[in-house]
Structures are given as structure tokens and as C-alpha cells.
Structure 1
Amino acid sequence: MKTYTYTGETLEEATRKAKSVHGDEPLVLKTRELRKKTLTEKGLYELVIAVQDEEKPLPQNSVKKRLEEISQKNYEQKKQESKITLESDIDFSERAKQITELLSSSPSSPKNPYNIPTPPQTPKKPTLQESEELKAIKKEVEQMSDRLKLVQNMLWEEKKPSPNTKIPQEFAEIYNLAKSSGIDHDRLEALMDLSLELMPLSMRSNSVTIKRYFREVLRKMVICKAERLEGAKKNIVMLVGPTGVGKTTTLAKLAARYSLMLDMRYRVGVITLDSYKIAAMEQLMTYARMMKLPIERADDPKDLSTAIDRLGYCDFILIDTAGHSQYDSQKLELLKKYANSDYSISVHLVLSASTKYEDLKEIYRSFSAVEIDSIIFSKLDESRSFGNIFSLVCDIKKPISYFSIGQVVPSDLLVASNDYFVDCLLDGFKNPNKEE
């Protein structure tokens, strides 16, 4: 006699594991509770059984081999019921492929991967019993898919980032996916704790439902500002941000969107405060001339009020500012004076999606002296991970108003949405303008 030990969340689960390997009548030697079930941890029970010496146990460290042999036993039972002879040397993945082919073929198909004996007479339509058997096999194929994912993560315990991380094995796939997106470690663990706390137990056995639920948690943590322009009158929008993030191009996209693309063609005027860069001034004037928009220039806060007055007939007044370092306190102070004019100005901070998380925090901290209303993220097409954006908006609790996804004016500007951002976060950047 040899003894073997199995564990499970309940004694019933441990018993099922033992029966699946050693048959229906294992000799139970001992049972005990290793860990009580709590709010944060599942229960753990141990079952010790005895079997005859000639039975060879499966290696304890080979999850994949155990799954293969369990699956083989299940198929041997189905073979006896339906008289299907399976070749014993077909491996786990090949068997799943062949079952799928069997399900997709017609009853008269010449394909016969399992060597099913074919009678000489004309094939009959499947009986009700045979249909039920096919449904059962199809269901088992779906279960195999989830088992294979468990095999891929069978070393999850060794790959956990820290001993204190309490993430069950079934969450390994979504955890690795979110980690690769660049979400900072502490926030990612908090997200996992939240998902484990709120997710119903019935949803945890399927990787698809786990990912769908986690996606919904992420979606609710991102704030996006809806574009409400009905009856717009005298909206003054100022774009601020560091050098090189694409403020001038983004302003041109907004101007084109408001004046050309929407059903309601708004009257748009442009003001530039960037008198330092001749190239930036010429670029903005070129855009304004192409779209036939009035453009004004202001060199100090008093000139800004005068320029706004001259464009008083416009529905939208877009203000382009000079880019400068977040560490230039003198220019930041001047920018604050521009924003604190006699008019109500909505300030949008333009940030590049390719900027790392720590720098995004520092830029926001410096420009927040201007009382930022929302964030515009540019250059999404130049980045392949967006955890830095997610981490920042969770920190600052400011809404995202627009995404700039390329250089094309005006089409490469999207009104921000939670669904689009979470898709980019988990699946990578997608340009909806180029999808077929």
C-alpha cells in the first residue's frame, strides 16, 4: 500500500481529486483542516488515502501531465458508452483539435479521426442520445480550454511579485495582462483586491467572465468628460502643457471639429500667446487661413482680454499657449495670470501618452496652479502601453476630454470614452479611423 495526499477548498473537492486519479474507492486514512476560510483567504483541507502498490502516482509537480491523464480517463468512459475507439497515444492538445473537427463535420463527412466503425448501410441521422453525447463532448472541449490556461500559469505561485500578494491562480492571466500595460504595482494589487472582493464566486471559474468583470472595474475608475456643445455660446478654451506635446496641432483639430465636422457649424476664433516660436505662430496661422478662422495675438494678460473682446461674436475661442518646462516657475506664474482674466476660461492640460508615469505626475503638479479643468492626451499612436495614463487619472481625479491619436487634422481626434481607453489599456492601441 502507498499513501497519497490531496488538498482542496473543501473535503469534497479533495475527494474528487483523489477519485479522478485512483478510482472510485480510495481508502481514506486521514482528513484534516489546514486553513479556515476567511474573508480574504479560501479554506484548505487535506485528504490522505492509501492505494495498492502497483498503482503508479502522478508526479506532484506536473500539473499538465495530471490533466492529460484525468482527461484520458474521462474519454475512456465515453468510448465504452458510444463504442468510439481512441488511440491511446493522442496527446492533450491534439485530442481537443480532433474533437472540434468531429463536431464541425456532417454525419456523412468522410473524416473519421476516431476510427468510428461505419456500417455499410446509409448513415442515419443522429439520435437524441447521440446528440446529447456530442453536446457533452463540446462542453468538455470548452473546459479543456480553461484547463490549458491553468497549465500555462501552473508556476503562478513562484511568479508572484511578492509573498504578500493574495491573487488566486485563476486571476493570473488578467493580472499579467494588466501588469504588462504599465499600471503601477501598488495600484494593480489594489485593483485585484477590489475585484476579488466584489466578483461573485460563480464568475471565477471562467477566464472570459473574469476578464469581462475586471474590464468593467477599470472602466468605472476612469472619468471621461462628455462633449456637450448644444447651445454653445462664448466658450473660451485654453490649452496648456509642456513643450512638444502637440498643443498647436490639437488646437487645430478642435477648431476644425467645432467649425467643420459637427452638424452645428460653430463660429471659432483663435488666439495665440506663443510669441516666442515663429514656427509655431506660422503653423497656427496656416491652419487658421485654411479653415478661414479669425486669429489674434496677445503678448501679455491685458492684450488677452482685448483679443477676447474682438472675437466676442465667436461661439468658441481657442487659446494656444507657449510650451515650457514644468520647472520654469516664472513662465508658469505668467500662465496663471493669463488664465485668471476677467473671463471664464476652461483650461485643458495636454499631455503625451508616451510620457512615463512619474513625469506625468510632476507635470500635472506644476501646471495645476492654473486650475486645470480636464486632460487631453496626445500621441496615443506613439505608445503601446497606457498604464501610466490610468495611474495618473486615478491619482488626480480629473476627467479626460479628448484623445489625439495621430497627426491628421481634424480626423485624428476622439472624444474620450471609458470603453475605448480600457480597450487600449488591455489590448493595445487601435486607431478606429483605420479599421476596416
Structure 2
Amino acid sequence: MATKFYTFTGESSIEALKKAQETCGERAILVTTKQIQAKTINKKPLYEILVSVEEEDVPQKPKPNPKAVNYENAYSKFNSSYEPIKPKFNITEEPAKEKPQIKTTPARPYDVDESVLLNISEAAKEISQIANVDMSKIKAVDEQAHGVNKKIDDVAKQVSVLNEKLGLITDMIWDERAPSRNNLAIPPEFASIYKAAKQSGMKQEHLEAIINATIENMPTSMKANPTAVKRYFYSLLRNMLPCRKEINDRKQRIMMLVGPTGVGKTTTLAKLAARFAYGSEKRYKTGIITLDTYRIGAVEQLFQYAKMMKLPILDVIEVEDFKNALKTLNYCDIILIDTTGNSQYDKEKLDKLDKFLKYSDVQIDVNLVLSAGSKVEDLIEIYNGFSFLDIDTLIITKFDETKIFGNVFSLIYETNTPVSYFCVGQEVPDDLLEAKSEFLVECVLEGYSKNSEDKDEK
């Protein structure tokens, strides 16, 4: 075995690995991965991977030796008594007979000599006679087998129907704890959708209210069809989720991002800045103000983003300086304000945020940033702690770090606060989506995937 090495490049390591697999097949073994070009506003990232492939040594045919002697010929030349070895059985050839003329139809690509077909037919008759087999019985057995196959197909169809019904029954009894349902009657056709919603982490009272609303309002003709039930349930959930569309007018818009520590406010602000400043449809003059002077790393990170995107950025410490910063960036269509991460219990910092808002004398859109990975009880408690700031919209981050989204649904459903954006990863600015109820409902009932994201963008 010989080991050979190959390099492949792509905009991501996964793309490069796909190229390696297409070229080298499953034998390719990843050795190293490195980024050879960083991602910028104008350039895409470039990754290079090194793979090894174990290749079998192909045995080479021996070259003919010009000096080699053909012993058979040599023996026959010098030995007059040489005779080739005779076969053990004598094969005598009958004198050739004239073949009867057989009329043939025009040649086809797959024509077979009719004499061959006649011989095969005769051979079949001889075999049946030797084996003492009645050909009529063979035909009867063949017909009987055909009938058995048809019966098997019918049985398979019936088994498929039974499997569907069994699946409904299984989903219906998946949770044997009657108190957890509060004696809620779940029809078999509703069991699957109830199970999916319950496993999503949705609050029990919300789930029961929605199931009851579905059962009461759904047309009777649809209730016996599990597919129709699911479709109706999807539609009902979508109508319960308020989403705010992105404003595309040219009026000045000031957005302040608030929320607890570690939810990704600074990264989200950078994504928003890139979206507004370098959008494909419209481009807005965008400026940034940071009130987060407590975390040096966060300030440096935001200044680096602003420098890469060539956007103005101001840092503000005191409340009195905030109004001046807003005046300085008054020429901007969009002003984004980053804030310090606050616990909902830290009244001192929350009060200072409130002073920034009241002292500004301008209308500021307050966006509460929350992580999708938090428990529903924590999300609601955080919302209540920040609610005195008059929250305008929600931004939900870290979709890629969890598998359940019923908590997000319950938060929006209970607070009736519209959601504006979803963050589905760390890439700036790609992993930011305008909020749509269809996307969130699919995440709640089926989980987040890249396919869900692609559908949302369409």
C-alpha cells in the first residue's frame, strides 16, 4: 500500500472536504485543516485541507524477456518424435450438413438465431421428459405463485395501514402520566402533534390552551386526518406569533440593544450594522454608539468590527455625553447602541440605562436580546426585569446552540411582544435572519436545521 497526499480548498472546511470526497472517495482521510484567507467584507474566507489516500500497489506485468526460449517450439525443432499431448477424449466431427434455409424477420439489435431458439425449446422438452415433469403442472405452479405474490402485496398494504394506526396509538399513550395532561382528552389524530409540542419545552398551560382551541375550532371534516390536523395546528401557531417586519423607509432609526450578559448583544449589533450598511437591497448610513465600557474586550471587538466596515463609532460613559453622541451621528439613517450586559436583578445598572433613554430626548427602539437556550421561566423573568424600559421588540440569539424552541414560543405568546430577528450562528453578517413566524413554528415542532433557514430566506 502507498500513501499519497492531496490538498483541496473551499470557502469552508466542509466544502473543501466535500471536494476531497468527490475526488478521492471514502478512502480520503483528513490530516490537517487551516484557514489560508480570513473573511472580510469584500472577500470570502478560504480554507485548505490536507488528506491522505491509501492506494494499492498495482502489480506490473513482467516484461517479456527477449532472451527467453520458446521451449515447445525448440523441442519440436530438434526432436523429430515430438507430438503434442492428445486429449483424453476423442472428439470426432461429423461431416457438415447443409443447413435448412430459415426465413428471418428484419434484423433487430438483439436478434437471436432461430435455430438456437428451436434447440432451446427441444432441450427443454428433453429435460422435462428425463425429469418426468409435466409442463402443465409447471404452468399451474407458476400461476399459483403469481396469486401468492398478489396476496402478499395485499397483506403489505394492510400492514402499512395498521402501522399508521399503531403509530397514532403509540403517540397517544407516549405519556402515561395523566396529571401532566390535566385530564385533557387528546384524540388519536392529535396525539403526534401534542407530543411534538410538549417535547419542545412549551409551557403546559399554553400547550393545553392551543390544543383545546384547535379541537374546538377545527372543522369536523378535518379532525379524522392526522395530516390535516398538523397543517391546521401549524397555521394556528403561526397566527399566535407576532413578528415585526424590518423597516425599509429612509427615516432615521435608533436601536438600543439591551439584555443580560452572554446573550451575544455585541455580535448581534455587528450583524445588524453590516446588514444595514451593506445590504443587497438598500444601504443605509450607519453609526454605532457603545455604552459598554465595563468590558474592555467587548469594546475592542466592536471597534474592530466598525473599522472593518468603515463605520463611525463613539463610546459614551456618562449620561450627559449620550445626547452629544446622538447629535454627532445625526446624519446617519441608522444608529445602533450597544449596552452593558445587565442582570435583571441589578437595579443600579438598569436605572442608569433608563436615564440614558429618558435623557436622549429622541425616540429609541429598545430591543431585548435573549438566548434561545434559556429555560422559559428564566426568559419570562428576564423580560419582566427589563420590561420597565418599554421593550419594543425581541431578538433571539443562539439558535444553533439548542434543540428545543417551545420556550421561545411561550415567551412571545405570553408577553405578546413582537420578535424582529433570529441569530442562528456566529458568522457576521450571515447568521442573522429577519424574524418570521413560519420559521419559528418549524423550529418548535421539528427543530432547527439549515433547511429551515433556507426556506425562511425564500
**Is 1:291 equivalent to 2:309 in the alignment?**
yes
Query: 1:25-424 counterparts in 2 under 5 A?
Result: 115-117=145-147, 143-153=161-171, 155=173, 158-160=176-178, 161-162=180-181, 164-229=183-248, 231-340=249-358, 341-424=360-443
Distance 1:433 1:268, change over 3 A: farther
- Distance in 2, matches of 1:138 and 1:212, equals 28
Summarize deviations over 1:98-140 as a string: whole Å, max 9, x none. xxxxxxxxxxxxxx9993259xxxxxxxxxxx9xx9x999986
Name the structure 1 match of 2:52.
none
Matched letter for residue 298 of structure 2: A
- Distance in 2, matches of 1:246 and 1:361, equals 18
Shift of 1:419: 0.5
CA contact (8 A) 1:296 1:307 kept: yes
- Distance in 1, matches of 2:165 and 2:452, equals 38
Shift of 1:431: 2.8
Distance 1:115 1:223, change over 3 A: farther
- Distance in 2, matches of 1:176 and 1:288, equals 46
Shift of 1:151: 4.0
CA contact (8 A) 1:236 1:346 kept: yes
CA contact (8 A) 2:276 2:283 kept: yes
Name the structure 1 match of 2:105.
none
Unaligned runs of 5+ in 2: 1-141
Shift of 1:156: 6.1
- Distance in 2, matches of 1:305 and 1:393, equals 32
- Distance in 1, matches of 2:435 and 2:157, equals 40
CA contact (8 A) 2:200 2:405 kept: yes
Unaligned runs of 5+ in 1: 1-111, 119-129
Shift of 1:369: 1.1
- Distance in 2, matches of 1:114 and 1:258, equals 73
Greater Cα radius of gyration, structure 1 or 2: 2
Distance 1:174 1:187, change over 3 A: same
Distance 1:156 1:367, change over 3 A: closer
Shift of 1:198: 0.7
Matched letter for residue 201 of structure 1: T
- Distance in 2, matches of 1:194 and 1:141, equals 34
Distance 1:189 1:357, change over 3 A: same
Distance 1:136 1:419, change over 3 A: farther
Higher mean displacement: 303-312 or 155-164? 155-164
- Distance in 2, matches of 1:402 and 1:393, equals 13
Name the structure 1 match of 2:128.
none
- Distance in 2, matches of 1:156 and 1:431, equals 29
Distance 1:162 1:373, change over 3 A: closer
Superposition TM-score, scaled by structure 2 size: 0.63
Shift of 1:154: 6.3
- Distance in 2, matches of 1:421 and 1:433, equals 9
Matched letter for residue 417 of structure 2: K
CA contact (8 A) 1:146 1:206 kept: no
RMSD: 2.7
Matched letter for residue 116 of structure 1: H
Summarize deviations over 1:168-194 as a string: whole Å, max 9, x none. 222111111110000111111111111
Shift of 1:167: 1.7
**What is the number of equivalent residue pairs in this alignment?**
310
- Distance in 2, matches of 1:245 and 1:169, equals 40
- Distance in 1, matches of 2:201 and 2:385, equals 23
Distance 1:435 1:347, change over 3 A: closer
Distance 1:140 1:202, change over 3 A: farther
Distance 1:329 1:434, change over 3 A: closer
1:430 aligned to which of 444, 449, 456? 449
Q: Percent identity?
A: 47
CA contact (8 A) 1:268 1:293 kept: yes
Secondary structure at the counterpart of residue 369 of structure 2: strand
CA contact (8 A) 2:196 2:445 kept: yes
- Distance in 2, matches of 1:155 and 1:313, equals 62
Distance 1:311 1:156, change over 3 A: closer
Secondary structure at the counterpart of residue 261 of structure 1: coil
- Distance in 2, matches of 1:147 and 1:113, equals 34
